[in-house]
Chain A
Amino acid sequence: MEKTVALELKNISKFFGKVIANNKINLSLYKGEILSILGENGCGKTTLMNMISGIYFPDEGQIFVDGKEVVIKSPLDAFHYKIGMIHQHFKLVDVFTAAQNIVLGVNDGSKYSIKSVNAKVKEIADKYGFHIDPKKKIYDMSVSEKQTVEIVKVLYRGADILILDEPTAVLTPSETEKLFSVLRRMKEDGKSIIIITHKLHEVLAVSDRVAVLRKGENVGSVVTSETSESQLTEMMVGKKVELNIERSQPENTVDRLFVEHVDCMDREGVKVLDDVSFIARSGEILGIAGIAGSGQRELLEAIAGLQKLKNGKISYLDPATGKMENLQDKTPLQIREMGVRLSFVPEDRLGMGLVGNMDLVDNVMLRSYRKGKTPFLNRKDPGKLTNEIVSSLEVVTPNVHTPVRRLSGGNVQKVLVGREIASEPKVLMAAYPVRGLDINSSYLIYNLLNDQKKRGTAVIFVGEDLDVLISLCDRILVIGSGRITGEVNGRETSKEEIGRLMTKTVATESKKEESHE
């Protein structure tokens, strides 16, 4: 069958500072097909799509639509070439109706009449089998209804190429099935669709071809019907890279932190943690692997007392008294004083960890200012500690009185880690501590974590680089969609095994749900 190319990318590259987000990517999308883009988090999927939809501008390379080279500088340009993107985070105005959101920004010269918009929305919805009430306000809608609005919004503008960024992440299995049938209908209508995902079974279910990205590069495209889950997993995670991270045998391990059957809900009432149980031991690094947003953040926050549990129990064996303490009854301050430290959440280093406008000393002091006995602040000891941190961790800063927001990401991280470790924690939780750091700084952080392990701290390390997790951690828990999908031994496991566990849950979960129905 002769296929026409709807969209073609040639040697597209994008750099964020020194970081290469996309490196010379070639990709083509045929008319009337569904192409999956598969890859781990941070492999550059979304960046690539953002360049097609006009959010970013490529640093190198060319984009062709229907064989003609085009320059896409803004979302408006993208619409002009009939490209529409449905973002992972919906861009909708809450207090508007569906129809108002859909017509927003459309400039076709027609008079603004919400009635005719409503009619046109209905028409599109009927054509592809959506269910949508044009007069319903967004804030009254469920997540899947909002997504429908986003898709209709793009179709209303006459898009022929649709890009969906992880559309199923927020949907239940039955909603996902509905979405897929809509996508298939669009395909029959001659639309070309790119769907970004990291769920293998969905890739196999809906797409015609799969392009796999790894570390910003296109590692190949395969026809879906000729591939298998294991081949895709292998393409996705790649060959194992040997890292020279020292790993000592755990010594004198004691069960320190007990997480039992923990359930958590997010603000919208969606379950983000589902029956999570594990034990963290002292003198050991426990890795947590999983696709971003699978509940890692909530899990750490639950332990630190920042997240309410719906069900379950978190307890802590206090080494000083030998007593078991219930952490969920305690305030974050009490938990912290017992030696449980939630350290550095990098997406939010300056939000939850440090105060950007304060200098290094003041930030270090945030942990200790309560210790003073006079109403006046004691700046001397924190000042000394800051100097120690700066010299031992090689923090690059003009002086200790520089506001931390002026430091580079890696140096901010070092200050944060230094401060947390200085308080000699019993449990140290580190979420993505090396994200955005260069190789040397990363190794410095790994060594610090190893030092803590040797000191007898129970270290919990949430990471995204599987090579690092495998080389650094003693045990690795794999979390998927808020459930623990497996526990592996860091010394014996393989990237493929972890990769399978990361993507496994949803498949089994949807099967379960089907059998219920």
Chain B
Amino acid sequence: MDTFIFSAIEFGVIFLFGCVGEILTEKSGHLNLGIPGIMCVGAAGGCFGAGIYLNATANPIGFVTILLAILFAMLFSGALAGIYAVLTVSLRSNQNVTGLAVTIFGVGFSSYFINNVVLVGETGTLLSAAGLNFFKAYLPFADNLGWFGKIFLGQGFLTYFGIFIAVAAAILLRRTKIGLNLRAIGESPATADAVGINVTAYKYVFVILGGAIAGLGGLTYVMEYMGGIVGATVADTVEGIGWLSIALVIFTLWKPDFAILGSIVFGALYIISSYVSLFFPNASFTFAQLKLFPLIPYVVTIIVLIFTSIRGKKENQPPASLGLSYFREER
């Protein structure tokens, strides 16, 4: 059971990064369907950055390794989100089409990049053994605190970083002027423009920042969850996680703090098929039946959508001008 909860949180954080990134993007009025591709690119970029450092030094420092991985993951995914931003903010292209193109590109690129540039040796290892251990490192006294220590203190650095970012995003949106301005832009860019908020700048910053944060989800998956050892189809898996992250945005009603809990629920549902004997010790499932469990998040999301649409509470709806380009002179 400990292992299950531990893994649910660990996996949930992957969703959490993607979800918080997409929330920030959507709050600026942009529906970025490129998030799955951006997460893949984040994974590739993070491994690449850490790999350079590990190759160059004989005695790598853990902190620097993780920092470089995070920086490069954000750099790569931010760059791809930047392309999306140029296309949708400045050139006002259709957001759905652009996002899908970004995903297709991101998945293809990172698949190539991981398999041909990043991989170390023949076994699908992304980093040298020393580097991999850094991502799994946890607080030394966690082992002494029983199940609590294992579940809550035994996680790798990226898990805490993800929760920190979610809390920070929640505070930003709810309690700061920047958050107020951002929400206004997502709801009604013309209103924001009329009171002198720089709509274009905000859109660029938050589309790119959102992409960069989502990219960390990909990094968390390959490094922390997979332990740095991946198969050739890793990009496809990350893409699937990316789509679920977008679904999670709806599930959590565009609230980053809800997303912390929501992501753990999604994480649990996603991995439950491996732990099915925990809950149903006597039952035996076929392979096909087990594959039904990861579908539950999608079903739950649809149910949430139905309920929020029926109740029609305005606060729980997507930002009013989500998906619409803004052009001041258009009247």
Contact = CB atoms under 8 A, between A and B. Distances in A.
B61 to A, nearest CB: 38
26 contacts: A74-B196, A75-B194, A75-B195, A75-B196, A76-B195, A79-B195, A91-B188, A91-B191, A91-B194, A93-B183, A93-B191, A93-B192, A95-B187, A95-B314, A95-B315, A100-B180, A101-B191, A104-B181, A104-B195, A104-B197, A105-B184, A105-B195, A105-B196, A107-B177, A112-B175, A112-B177
Contacts of A91: 188, 190-191, 194-195
Say which size band chain B's interface belongs to. 20 to 34
A76 B199 CA distance: 13
Contacts of B229: none
B181 to A, nearest CB: 7
A309 to B, nearest CB: 27
A55 B196 CA distance: 11
Interface size on A, as a range, is: 20 to 34
Contact of B192 (A55, A105, A106): A105
Nearest to A78: B196
A104 B181 CA distance: 6
A139 interface: yes
Contact of B181 (A74, A92, A105, A139): A105
B320 interface: yes
B184 A79 contact: no
Contacts of B190: 91
B174 to A, nearest CB: 10
Contacts of A92: 188, 191
B184 A104 contact: yes
Nearest to B185: A93
A104 B191 contact: yes
A107 B178 CA distance: 10
B176 interface: yes
A94 interface: yes
Interface in B287-329: 314-315, 317, 320
Given A93-B188, A104-B181, A107-B177, 14 more contacts: A75-B193, A75-B195, A79-B195, A91-B195, A93-B183, A94-B188, A95-B314, A96-B180, A96-B187, A100-B180, A104-B192, A104-B195, A104-B197, A112-B180
A433 to B, nearest CB: 21
A137 interface: yes
Nearest to A103: B180
Overall SS of chain A's interface: loop
A93 B175 contact: no
Most A CB within 10 A of own CB, among B181, B195, B317: B195
Contacts of A75: 193-196
Interface in A100-120: 100-101, 103-107, 112
A229 B191 CA distance: 37
Contacts of B180: 96, 100, 103-104, 112
A101 B184 CA distance: 9
Nearest to B176: A112
Nearest to A153: B195
A79 B196 contact: yes
Contacts of A94: 187-188, 314, 320
A79 B315 CA distance: 30
Nearest to A56: B329
Interface in A67-97: 74-76, 79, 87, 91-96
Interface string A233-273: 00000000000000000000000000000000000000000
A87 B184 CA distance: 18
Interface string B176-218: 1100110110011011111111000000000000000000000
Per CB-CB distance, the 8 closest pairs between chain A and chain B, nearest first, are A105-B195, A76-B196, A91-B191, A112-B177, A93-B187, A91-B194, A105-B197, A95-B314
Contacts of A137: 314
Given A74-B196, A75-B193, A137-B314, A96 B184 contact: yes
Contacts of A153: 195
A93 B314 contact: no
A74 B197 CA distance: 10
Most chain A CB within a 10 A radius of its CB, from B184, B191, B192, B194: B194
A137 B320 CA distance: 15
A212 B140 CA distance: 81
Contacts of B194: 55, 75, 87, 91
A105 B196 CA distance: 6
Contacts of B187: 93-96
A103 B196 CA distance: 12
Nearest to B195: A105
Which of B175, B180, B314 has the largest number of chain A CB atoms within 10 A?
A: B180
Interface in B236-258: none
Contacts of A87: 194
Contacts of B193: 75
A92 B195 CA distance: 10
A104 B197 CA distance: 8
A76 B183 CA distance: 19
Contacts of A139: 314
A94 B314 CA distance: 8
Nearest to B193: A75
A384 B194 CA distance: 49
Contacts of B197: 104-105
A103 B184 CA distance: 11
Interface string A145-174: 000000001000000000000000000000
Contacts of B188: 91-94
Contacts of B315: 95
